[in-house]
Amino acid sequence: MSLAEFSLIERIRTRTRARADVVLGIGDDAALLQPRAGEQLVVTADTLNSGVHFPAETPPYDIGWKTLAVNLSDLASMGARPSWCVLALSLPDAETAWVDAFADGFFALADLHDIVLVGGDTTRGPLSLSVTAMGQVAAGTALRRDAAQVGDDIWVSGTLGDAAVALRAWQAGTLDVRSPAGDAQVDYLRQRLARPTPRVALGTALVGIARAAVDISDGLLADLGHICERSGVGAQIDPEQLPISAAARARIGLAHARDAALRGGDDYELCFTAAPAQRAALAELASRLALPLTRVGVIVAGNGVSTGSESTGPSGYEHFNEL
């Protein structure tokens, strides 16, 4: 069954919840929100297009999850606590089952991170999903790309390259994004591509510890390159220190997995810099969050990112790079 526009909006509205800081939510031309006193608003937006950001056959639950996850990752990189979001849907056909499954994935992640949907838009067209997410952070404490200093350690969370390895497997026809794989390692890679984990708890905990931060959406080289450019510094990465999962190693070998970690993208882990004096605090934080934090390099004078044997500018996924 296909839904009319207002039926679709109502179906989504019933999944939202009331909260004191939402003065007026879905139902008017715009929402009314009440930020906390003494905090700054952090706003980000991302659009996902079918066939560009996810395979066309990706299950709608996974699409709903990832649509929100990429925005939560941006908030995490700024050290912000998620608060509100709006959702714009372009759908070729608003099938009831598809919309319900999409909403299941979207709101499962939203509820995990206490973010409330307060509005949006729907239209008919090619499958495209856009979220504007808003978070809050104490005034003057947000993590930024322009604060790295020479001598800082460079850290990353989790493991890198898993999503890129999964994408290569899908392109080769050896990974089905539609259902769990029989092999645990293959399914781990599929999940890393389909349902990335935004590091929200880490991002908020890094306020006061990290200096500069960015989320890894386009590959470590490219995203760390943004920190270098904005901070006016260079970076030295040790490829042997990159955290690589056993699944990625088994799938394509260590050398290719390292390349995926450097250039692959879609990890949605955090890369951040911190003074060497913060190493003990970061070890304690990693233990408390049960999340590996790995020191992979150092900020140096100069510009660009070096991997030891070669220096390189940003190298990762770029939209319109064939235009």
pLDDT digits (tens, 9 = 90+) for 287-319: 999 999 999 999 999 999 999 754 444 455 443
120 is in an annotated binding site: yes
**Residue 282 in contact with residue 213, Cβ under 8 Å?**
no
What interhelical angle do 60-77 and 96-112 show, nearest 10? 30
Residue 157 shares a structural domain with residue 214 = yes
User: Between residues 111 and 1, which one has the greater pLDDT?
Assistant: 111
172 vs 180, which has greater pLDDT?
172
54 shares its domain with 94:
yes
* CATH number of the domain enclosing 21: 3.30.1330.10
- Tell whether 121 is in a known binding site: yes
> According to the annotation, is 256 in a ligand binding site?
no
The predicted structure's pLDDT at residue 76: 98
Query: Which pLDDT value is given to residue 322?
Result: 36
Across residues 208-215, what is the average pLDDT?
98
- Three-state DSSP at 251 gives helix
In a domain, 322, yes or no: no
Does residue 153 have a known ligand-binding role? no
CA neighbor of 221 nearest in space, from 296, 315, 310, 146: 315
End-to-end CA distance of the chain: 39
| 162 annotated as a binding-site residue | no
Average pLDDT, the chain: 91
Q: Is 215 annotated as a binding residue?
A: yes
Is 320's pLDDT higher than 60?
no
Average pLDDT (10-27) is: 82
Q: At what angle do helices 220-231 and 254-263 cross, to 10 degrees?
A: 40
Integer Cα distance of 92 and 50 in angstroms: 11
Domain final position from 90, 123, 138 = 138
Domain identity same for 99 and 200 = no
Establish whether 217 is an annotated binding residue: yes
Per the domain annotation, does 216 fall within a domain? yes
Q: Is the pLDDT of residue 176 over 90?
A: no
Of 2 and 111, the structure prediction assigns the larger pLDDT to 111
pLDDT of residue 121: 87
Instruction: Specify the pLDDT at position 51.
Output: 81
Residue 163 sits at the vertex; the CA angle it makes with 157 and 164, to the nearest 5 degrees, is 115
The 10s digit of each residue's pLDDT in 239-277 is 999 999 999 999 999 999 999 999 998 999 999 999 999
- Among 115, 138, 161, give the residue marking a domain's end: 138
Domain that holds residue 190: 145-309
pLDDT, residue 27, reads 80
The domain tally of the chain equals: 2
Of the pLDDT bands very low, low, confident and very high (cuts 50, 70, 90), residue 12 is confident
Q: Say whether both 177 and 305 belong to one domain.
A: yes
Does the pLDDT value for residue 196 go beyond 60? yes
What is the C-alpha to C-alpha distance for residues 84 and 110, in angstroms, rounded to an integer? 9
The answer as to whether 78 is a domain residue is: yes
44 annotated ligand binder:
yes
145 is known to lie in a ligand binding site: yes
The whole-number pLDDT of residue 315 equals 54
> Would you state the pLDDT for residue 5?
60
Question: Is 79 assigned to a binding site?
Answer: no
Average pLDDT over residues 217-236: 97
Residue 180: pLDDT above 90? no
Q: Is residue 315 in a domain?
A: no
* Residue 297 and residue 255 in one domain: yes
Among 138, 163, 178, where does a domain finish? 138
pLDDT tens column, 233-243: 999 999 999 99
The share of the chain scoring above pLDDT 90, in percent, equals: 75
320 inside domain: no
At 319 the pLDDT is: 38
Where helices occur in the chain by DSSP H, the ranges are: 5-13, 60-77, 96-112, 162-171, 184-194, 200-205, 220-231, 246-252, 254-263, 279-289
Range of weakest confidence among 95-104, 173-182, 187-196, 231-240: 173-182
CATH of the domain at 285: 3.90.650.10
Give per-residue pLDDT as tens, 87-133.
999 999 878 888 899 999 999 999 999 999 999 888 899 999 999 99
